[in-house]
C-alpha cells in the first residue's frame, strides 16, 4: 500500500514541468514572451501622433469656421453694397420725377456726384452711395453705386421723357452784362430754395434778352447781345452750355425778335428768329440734341420786333408763331410739326412795336387757339380764334381797358375752355378778363399803378396740377403783390414778398416741376434777379440769384424753361438692372 502511493506521487512529479526562476534560475516566475511587448518609447510616439491628429482636426474645424464667417461677411457686405446702390438709384429717380436737385450736387438725377467721398450719403454704418447721370439720344442713364468695406455693387436705370434737366420749372437762366456771361440757378423742391448761381457759358458781348425751353433732356437757351447778335446754347442737366452765334444781326436790341419752345408731344425743340440781312424770319429744330438746318419761314416782313411761339395742343407737335413787325402789324404762321404753312395778318395796328402787345393760349377742351392783341386806335383788346381744320375767325373787340394797352398775357385753365387775360396800359393800370368759351367778361381792375410801362410789371400762370393760378405784379415799390384765382374771380390782394434791393420791374411766373409748385423771377431797379417759389400754400425764401447792368434792367434778361401747366409731366423708367461696378 505504501509502495503504490509512493509510485503514484513520483509519476505526478515527473509530469509537472520545472520553470526557470526570475533571473533564469530554475523555479520562480514563468518566462516572458519578449517578442510581443513594444519597444521602449513607442508609446510616447503614439501619443504625440494622436495629439497631432487632434490638433490638425481642431485647426481644420477652426479654419472652416473662419472661412464660413469670412464668406458670411463678404456676402453681408455685398448685400449691403447692393442695397446702397439701389437706394442711390431711387434717390436719383426721385430727383428726375421732382425735376429738382434735391441733394444739391449741381445735377438733377445724380447723387453726391462731386468727387468728394466724405459727403456721400450712407445707408448703413460703413457704407456709402453715389450716382452719376449722362444723357444721349433722348435717354437719361443713371449709374448708381454702393460700397460696403471692399464690396462694390452698381445699378443702372434708363429713363426717357422730360425732367428738370430739360427745364421743367427747375432752373433759371439769366444774363450778366458785366462779365458777358450766361448764368443759372437750380431749384430744390425739397427745401423750396434756389441754389447758388453758376456760369452756364460766356459770350463775346454783353448779353441782354434771354429765352429758354426744354428739348428732350436738355435745355435750349437763346440770348441776344449788345451787338444785336443771337447766341444759342444747349444746356445739360447741370446747366452748362457752349454758346455759338446763330445770327449776326437781329435788327433790334430793345425788343425780342426770337423765341424758343418745346413740341408738346415729341418733347423736342423749335426756335424762331429774325435775320436782318436777308430780312427773313427763320427757324431751326433741335432733335436729340442736334441743331437742325436753317429754314425760311413764310412771312413777308422786312423787320420784326417781337416773336412768340404758342403750342396749339397738349398732345400734338403743332405750334403757332406770332410776330409784331416794324409797321406794328401782327402776323401768324403755323408749324405742323415738320414744316411751316401759310401766313395770316391778324391785325395791322398794334399799339406799340416796342411792347409785346400780343399773346396766345389754347382752349384746353376744344383745342382752339385764342390770340389777343393791343390796338393803336382805342382802349381795347382784339382777339381772333384759330379752329383746326377751319382757320381764323374774324376780329372781335374787348372794350374797357381805360387806355391803350401795352403788354398782354394769356393762360389756359385746365379741363375747360376758359382762358384768363391780363393787360397793362399806357398809364400803368392792370386789368384782367376771363373767356368762358363763348365771351369775355368786362375787364376787372387789379391796380391803377404797376410801377411802369416800359416793361411787363406783371405775369400770371397756372401750376402743373391746375390747383393754383397766381397773378403777380408790382406797384412801384419794393413790395411784390399777388392774387389767387378762385374759380370765379380773384382773391383779395396780398403781399408775396418784399425785395431786398430796388423796386419791382419785369415779373416772370412759370409752372414749376411738381404738382402745385409755381416759380418765377422779379427783376429789380438795381439790376437784380429775385427768384421765388410757391408750394401751393405759401411762398418760399426769395433769393437774389444774380445781377446784370442797370442798362438792361427793364428787359426780360432771365428765363425759366416752363414746366407743364395743367398736368404734371414725369419721365418714364424703361430699364432697371444690376450691372458690373
pTM over cut 0.85: no
> What is the distance between the alpha carbons of residues 120 and 292, in angstroms, rounded to a whole number?
40
How many angstroms separate the Cα of 472 from the Cα of each of 409, 421, 450, 574?
A: 12, 13, 10, 39
Q: How much is the average pLDDT of 123-133?
A: 89
What is the rounded end-to-end Cα distance, in angstroms, of the chain?
117
Q: What is the mean pLDDT of residues 445-449?
A: 97
Strands (E), 312-443: 319-325, 330-335, 340-347, 358-362, 369-374, 380-387, 391-392, 396-399, 405-412, 419-425, 430-435
CA–CA separation, 18 and 56 (whole Å): 54
Per DSSP, the three-state class of 101 is coil
Q: What pairs with residue 202 in β-bridges?
A: 181
Residue 296's pLDDT band, with cuts at 50, 70 and 90, is very high
pLDDT for residue 152 is more than 80: yes
Chain centre to alpha carbon of residue 528: 24
- In a 10 Å sphere around its CB, with 0-12 CB exposed, 13-18 middle and 19+ buried, how is residue 277 labelled? exposed
Tens of pLDDT, residues 560-581: 987 654 444 567 889 999 999 8
pLDDT by residue (tens digit) across 164-205?
434 456 889 999 887 899 999 988 877 889 999 999 999 988
Confidence (pLDDT) at 25: 45
Ranges 89-103, 215-229, 552-566, most confident: 215-229
Give residues with Cβ within 8 angstroms of 502, minimum separation 6. 478, 524, 525, 526, 527, 528
- pLDDT reported for residue 218: 86
- By mean pLDDT, which of 16-30, 120-134, 206-220 is the weakest? 16-30
542 has which bridge partners? Answer: none
Percent of the chain's residues with pLDDT above 90 = 58
Reported as a single tens digit per residue, the pLDDT across 6-26 is 444 444 444 444 444 444 444
| Dist. CA 524–CA 506, nearest whole Å | 7
pLDDT attached to residue 237: 80
Cα distance between residue 257 and residue 283, in whole Å: 12
Higher pLDDT, 438 or 109: 438
Q: What is the pLDDT of residue 68?
A: 63
Is residue 28 over pLDDT 60? Answer: no
Cα radius of gyration rounded to whole Å, the chain: 42
3-state secondary structure of 238: coil
d(CA 320, CA 336): 9
Q: What is the DSSP string of 312-332?
A: S-SSS--EEEEEEETT--EEE
Dump pLDDT digits (tens) for 47-98: 778 888 888 887 777 767 666 665 566 677 888 889 999 999 999 888 877 6
Amino acid at each position: 500500500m505504501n509502495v503504490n502511493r509512493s509510485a503514484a506521487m513520483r509519476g505526478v512529479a515527473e509530469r509537472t514541468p520545472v520553470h526557470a526562476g526570475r533571473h533564469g534560475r530554475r523555479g520562480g516566475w514563468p518566462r516572458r514572451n519578449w517578442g510581443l511587448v513594444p519597444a521602449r518609447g513607442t508609446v510616447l510616439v503614439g501619443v504625440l501622433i494622436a495629439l497631432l491628429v487632434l490638433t490638425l482636426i481642431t485647426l481644420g474645424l477652426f479654419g472652416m469656421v473662419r472661412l464660413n464667417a469670412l464668406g458670411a461677411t463678404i456676402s453681408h457686405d455685398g448685400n449691403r453694397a447692393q442695397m446702397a446702390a439701389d437706394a442711390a438709384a431711387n434717390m436719383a429717380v426721385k430727383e428726375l420725377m421732382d425735376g429738382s436737385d434735391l441733394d444739391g450736387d449741381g445735377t438733377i438725377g445724380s447723387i453726391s456726384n462731386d468727387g468728394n467721398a466724405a459727403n456721400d450719403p450712407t445707408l448703413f454704418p460703413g457704407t456709402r452711395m453715389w450716382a452719376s447721370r449722362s444723357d444721349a439720344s433722348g435717354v437719361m442713364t443713371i449709374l448708381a453705386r454702393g460700397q460696403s468695406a471692399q464690396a462694390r455693387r452698381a445699378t443702372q436705370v434708363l429713363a426717357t421723357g422730360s425732367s428738370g434737366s430739360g427745364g421743367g420749372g427747375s432752373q433759371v437762366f439769366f444774363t450778366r452784362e458785366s462779365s458777358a456771361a450766361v448764368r443759372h440757378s437750380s431749384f430744390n423742391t425739397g427745401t423750396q430754395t434756389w441754389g447758388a448761381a453758376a456760369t452756364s457759358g460766356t459770350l463775346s458781348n454783353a448779353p441782354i434778352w434771354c429765352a429758354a425751353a426744354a428739348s428732350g433732356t436738355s435745355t435750349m437757351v437763346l440770348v441776344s447781345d449788345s451787338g444785336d447778335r443771337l447766341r444759342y446754347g444747349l444746356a445739360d442737366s447741370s446747366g452748362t452750355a457752349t454758346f455759338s452765334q446763330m445770327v449776326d444781326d437781329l435788327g433790334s436790341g430793345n425788343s425780342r425778335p426770337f423765341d424758343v419752345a418745346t413740341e408738346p408731344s415729341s418733347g423736342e425743340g423749335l426756335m424762331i428768329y429774325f435775320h436782318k440781312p436777308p430780312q427773313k424770319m427763320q427757324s431751326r429744330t433741335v432733335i436729340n440734341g442736334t441743331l437742325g438746318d436753317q429754314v425760311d419761314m413764310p412771312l413777308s416782313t422786312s423787320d420784326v420786333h417781337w416773336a412768340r411761339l404758342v403750342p396749339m395742343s397738349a398732345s400734338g407737335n403743332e405750334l403757332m408763331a406770332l410776330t409784331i413787325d416794324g409797321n406794328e402789324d401782327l402776323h401768324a404762321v403755323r408749324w405742323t410739326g415738320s414744316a411751316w404753312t401759310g401766313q395770316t395778318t391778324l391785325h395791322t395796328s398794334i399799339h406799340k412795336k416796342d411792347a409785346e402787345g400780343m399773346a396766345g393760349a389754347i382752349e384746353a377742351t376744344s383745342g382752339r387757339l385764342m390770340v389777343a392783341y393791343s390796338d393803336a386806335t382805342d382802349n381795347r383788346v382784339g382777339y381772333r380764334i384759330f379752329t383746326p381744320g377751319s382757320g381764323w375767325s374774324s376780329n372781335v373787340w374787348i372794350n374797357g381797358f381805360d387806355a391803350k394797352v401795352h403788354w398782354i398775357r394769356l393762360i389756359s385753365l385746365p379741363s375747360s375752355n376758359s382762358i384768363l387775360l391780363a393787360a397793362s396800359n399806357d398809364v400803368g393800370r392792370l386789368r384782367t378778363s376771363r373767356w368762358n368759351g363763348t365771351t369775355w367778361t368786362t375787364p376787372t381792375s387789379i391796380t391803377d399803378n404797376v410801377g411802369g410801362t416800359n416793361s411787363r410789371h406783371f405775369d400770371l400762370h397756372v401750376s402743373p396740377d391746375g390747383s393754383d393760378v397766381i397773378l403777380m405784379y408790382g406797384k412801384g415799390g419794393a413790395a411784390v403783390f399777388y392774387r389767387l384765382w378762385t374759380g370765379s374771380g380773384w382773391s383779395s390782394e396780398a403781399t408775396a414778398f418784399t425785395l431786398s434791393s430796388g423796386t419791382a420791374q419785369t415779373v416772370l411766373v412759370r409752372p414749376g416741376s411738381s404738382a402745385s409748385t409755381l416759380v418765377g423771377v422779379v427783376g429789380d431797379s438795381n439790376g437784380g434777379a429775385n427768384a421765388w417759389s410757391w408750394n401751393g400754400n405759401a411762398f418760399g425764401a426769395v433769393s437774389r440769384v444774380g445781377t446784370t447792368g442797370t442798362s438792361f434792367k427793364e428787359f426780360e434778361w432771365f428765363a425759366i424753361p416752363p414746366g407743364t401747366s395743367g398736368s404734371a409731366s414725369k419721365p418714364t423708367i424703361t430699364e432697371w438692372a444690376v450691372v458690373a461696378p
